[in-house]
Structure 1
Amino acid sequence: MKYLLVQEDEDGVEQLWGRCAGVEGLFLDPVPLPREVLTLRGCSPDGLLSAVLADPDASSRGLGDVGVEVWADEQPVQWWTLVDAVVVAHQPHPADPARYDIVLGAGVREEETFFELPEAPRFKLFAGTTVAARSMGRCTEVEGLFGPRADPAPLPMELIGCQAVEPLLKGTQRPRRWNGSWADLLVLDRHGAVMASRTVGLAVTGARPSVLGGGLEDITLTDGGDDRPLPAVRPVWEQWYRGAPVEPNLWAPYDARGRAEWLELTTRGWRGREPGPDRTGGEHHLDGRFVTDVQGLHCAVAEALLGPGRYFGREWNSFKDCLHGGFGVVPPFTLVWHDSEVARRALAGVVEDPEGRLTYFEESVQLLERYGVTVVLR
């Protein structure tokens, strides 16, 4: 059995609901958002949007993902993403020829709602969705942004060779009359240790005798969840299935997407370990030969401080949290960063600093030093 279905009770204790030999539909490409037409009214373009409108062939020009902040008075109240936005058409705004009405095609995703929508909101546009995203201008209205949208249809998942126990057993006997809410699907490595977990819906569409025999069942879950890994990162999971990494730089051959999934798996591994006392002092050596992207930087830092397959943050905020302690090592200590020029060059164009003064590499070094780490760049 390679998979366990568990659900936490009111006391946070995991209760076993079933064991399964296989899962079909664990890896899945996301369903693209439906394309919509939106109109930016009274827009004062800036940055990338201004450059696109200056092009005589602006129509059908891609803008990438566009962040939209909805403001009331002096604070943002909502945040949206226009996915893969494309300029369809534009014209001068009737009330002010210096501004524009711009028609976009995009997928629309609501990211965050902080407060209720005001009667007269203002809109700020950004090229991308990171903290350091560049301004693309402002507008008085985004026509079509707040329209009703149907939730995407859930995508099923097949549990193969499943040994269900109560109460999941009731769901397999009368699937149409039973809804089991949500549970965690725990993925085991070849040694039986939990290497990953995903949330799945326990509504059962159907159950039948398993193709594996032995009194087992094949169970169809109506909703396999929306946080399933991409098929492209399957090789990373296969690596971890052999067991928790014990050799350095096993993450290095993967691209940024694979390295991000590697960091995701270290997160689950960290949750499964009992926290021990933090070590401090000493000298740690970072192998910088493969730090060619942000994900590689965090893989290499964690490996230098704690060893292969360990967790020490997977992006900026979690990295900063780890430096406060509670994750196995805490400053002060010395970090000798070998081949640091590789990261300096590779991350020269990656800027998360809101003021745009420091690259991700420079800001990471500065953060380490601010928390009491002596960083030696070699």
Structure 2
Amino acid sequence: MKYLLVQEDEDGEERLWGRCAGIEGLFVEPVPLPREVLTLRGYRPGGLLGDVLAGPGGSLQGLGDMCVEVWDDETPVQWFTLVDAVVVAHRPHPADPERYDVVLGAGVRCEESFFGLPATPRFELFAGTASAVTGAGRCSAVDGLFEERADPAPVPIELIGCEPAEPLLAALRRPRRSERAWAYLLVLDRRGAVMASRTVGLAVTGARPSVLGGALVDITLTDGGADRPPPAARPVWAQWYQGPPAAPNLWAPYGSRGRAAWLDLSTRDWRVPAPRPDRSGGEYHLDGRFVTDVPGLYCALAEALLGPGRYFGREWNALKDCLGGGFGVAPPFTLTWHDSEVARRALADVLIDPESGLSYFEEIVRLLECCGVTVVLR
């Protein structure tokens, strides 16, 4: 049995709902969002979007994912992601020729909302990836942003070869009682240790005798959850199923999405069990031969400081948190970065803050040094 289905009760105690041998539909691409048309009013250029508008043929150029932060005075209160944003058109803003009204096509996802719309909101724009986000200017309003949007249709998941425990048996007898319930799908490695956890809905669409035979049951859950790994993660999970990595650079053959999946699995290193006492001082050696993208940088850095398969951040802010202590190693210490020119070249065009003019590589080196790390580039 490779998977456990568990649910927390009101006291935080986990109850076993069942065990199963396989999952069909665990690795899926995210459901694409419907495309919408939005207008950035009074846009003051900056960053990637500003560069696109300043260049020739700015319309119909892709921007990747963009983030819109809604600010109330000095505090951001709402976040939206404009997925796969494309410039449709732009023209000078009527009240200020130095600003623009920019029409974008994008999928819109609301990330978080703490308050209602401020009386005088400010809109800050960011572009890039989850691991390398840069400022992209600001605007006075975004037409079409605050619309009601239906949740995407759930994507089912199949539990293959399931041994239901009593709570799941009760749900099979009276499926309507579990329509709004959620549980954790715990993924086990071959030793029985939990290597990953995903949230799934407990609404049951159907159940039947298992294709594996015996008294096992195959169960269809209506909603397999929105945080499932992409197909690119499948070989990474298969490797981790054999147990935590014990040799260096096993992440190196994967592309950026596979390396991101590697980092995702490594996050359990500091959550379970409790964090270890920090070590300070000494010298660590970072093998930079395979640092050709941002996820690879964090794979290599964690491996240098803590060993294969360990976690020490997956983006700039997370690395800053790790350097503050509580993750096994804390400054001061010396980091000797071998073959550093590989990362310098690969990350030369990846920016965190366009105003600083520093590449992602240079920003990481500066962060390490500001936090008390002596960085030796070789």
If the length of structure 2 is used for normalisation, what is the TM-score? 0.89
Could you tell me whether the CA contact under 8 Å between 1:79 and 1:111 is conserved in 2?
yes
What SS is found at the alignment partner of 2:299?
Answer: helix
2:283 alignment partner in structure 1: 283
Pick closer, same or farther for the CA change 1:370–1:248 going to 2, 3 Å: same
Q: How much is the aligned-residue C-alpha RMSD, in angstroms?
A: 2.6
Give the stretch that moved more between structures: 87-96 or 315-324.
87-96
1:110 alignment partner in structure 2: 110
2:340 alignment partner in structure 1: 340
How many residues of Structure 1 are paired with residues of Structure 2 in the alignment?
377
C-alpha distance in structure 1 between counterparts of 2:51 and 2:306, whole Å: 46
For residue 181 of structure 2, what is the amino acid of its counterpart? S
What SS is found at the alignment partner of 1:207?
Answer: strand
Pick closer, same or farther for the CA change 1:103–1:132 going to 2, 3 Å: closer
Could you tell me whether the CA contact under 8 Å between 1:171 and 1:179 is conserved in 2?
no
1:40 alignment partner in structure 2: 40
1:4 pairs with 2:4 = yes
1:20-56 deviations in Å (ceiling 9; x for gaps): 0000110010111101122334445455545545667
C-alpha distance in structure 2 between counterparts of 1:27 and 1:242, whole Å: 18
Could you tell me whether the CA contact under 8 Å between 2:259 and 2:296 is conserved in 1?
yes
For residue 77 of structure 1, what is the amino acid of its counterpart? V
C-alpha distance in structure 1 between counterparts of 2:129 and 2:377, whole Å: 31
1:161 pairs with 2:161 = yes
2:60 alignment partner in structure 1: 60
For residue 134 of structure 1, what is the amino acid of its counterpart? G
Could you tell me whether the CA contact under 8 Å between 1:162 and 1:219 is conserved in 2?
yes
What SS is found at the alignment partner of 1:167?
Answer: helix
**Aligned-residue offset at 1:132:** 5.2
1:312-361 deviations in Å (ceiling 9; x for gaps): 22222222222233322333333222222222222222222474243332
Pick closer, same or farther for the CA change 1:129–1:191 going to 2, 3 Å: closer
Pick closer, same or farther for the CA change 1:136–1:364 going to 2, 3 Å: closer
1:126-169 deviations in Å (ceiling 9; x for gaps): 4447785233452x432211111111111111101101112111
C-alpha distance in structure 1 between counterparts of 2:323 and 2:151, whole Å: 39
Give the stretch that moved more between structures: 257-266 or 54-63.
54-63
1:14 alignment partner in structure 2: 14
1:134 alignment partner in structure 2: 135
Pick closer, same or farther for the CA change 1:257–1:42 going to 2, 3 Å: same
Pick closer, same or farther for the CA change 1:72–1:324 going to 2, 3 Å: closer
1:186 alignment partner in structure 2: 186
C-alpha distance in structure 2 between counterparts of 1:279 and 1:93, whole Å: 56
Could you tell me whether the CA contact under 8 Å between 2:40 and 2:101 is conserved in 1?
yes
Give the stretch that moved more between structures: 64-73 or 234-243.
64-73
**Aligned-residue offset at 1:266:** 0.8
C-alpha distance in structure 2 between counterparts of 1:90 and 1:355, whole Å: 24
For residue 88 of structure 2, what is the amino acid of its counterpart? V
What SS is found at the alignment partner of 2:296?
Answer: helix
What SS is found at the alignment partner of 1:23?
Answer: strand
For residue 134 of structure 2, what is the amino acid of its counterpart? A
Query: What stretches of structure 2 of length at least 5 have no aligned partner?
Result: none
**Aligned-residue offset at 1:170:** 0.5
Pick closer, same or farther for the CA change 1:77–1:228 going to 2, 3 Å: same
C-alpha distance in structure 1 between counterparts of 2:55 and 2:375, whole Å: 46
C-alpha distance in structure 1 between counterparts of 2:372 and 2:191, whole Å: 39
C-alpha distance in structure 2 between counterparts of 1:274 and 1:123, whole Å: 39
Could you tell me whether the CA contact under 8 Å between 2:278 and 2:329 is conserved in 1?
yes
For residue 123 of structure 2, what is the amino acid of its counterpart? F
For residue 331 of structure 2, what is the amino acid of its counterpart? P
If the length of structure 1 is used for normalisation, what is the TM-score? 0.89
Residues 136-155 of structure 1 correspond to what in structure 2 (within 5 A)? Answer: 136-138=137-139, 140-155=140-155
What SS is found at the alignment partner of 1:260?
Answer: helix
1:262 alignment partner in structure 2: 262
Pick closer, same or farther for the CA change 1:42–1:298 going to 2, 3 Å: closer
What SS is found at the alignment partner of 2:152?
Answer: coil
Pick closer, same or farther for the CA change 1:327–1:262 going to 2, 3 Å: same
Give the stretch that moved more between structures: 224-233 or 33-42.
33-42
1:350 pairs with 2:355 = no
1:309 alignment partner in structure 2: 309
2:367 alignment partner in structure 1: 367
2:327 alignment partner in structure 1: 327
C-alpha distance in structure 1 between counterparts of 2:56 and 2:330, whole Å: 56
1:68-87 deviations in Å (ceiling 9; x for gaps): 23344454432322222223
Residues 208-287 of structure 1 correspond to what in structure 2 (within 5 A)? Answer: 208-287=208-287
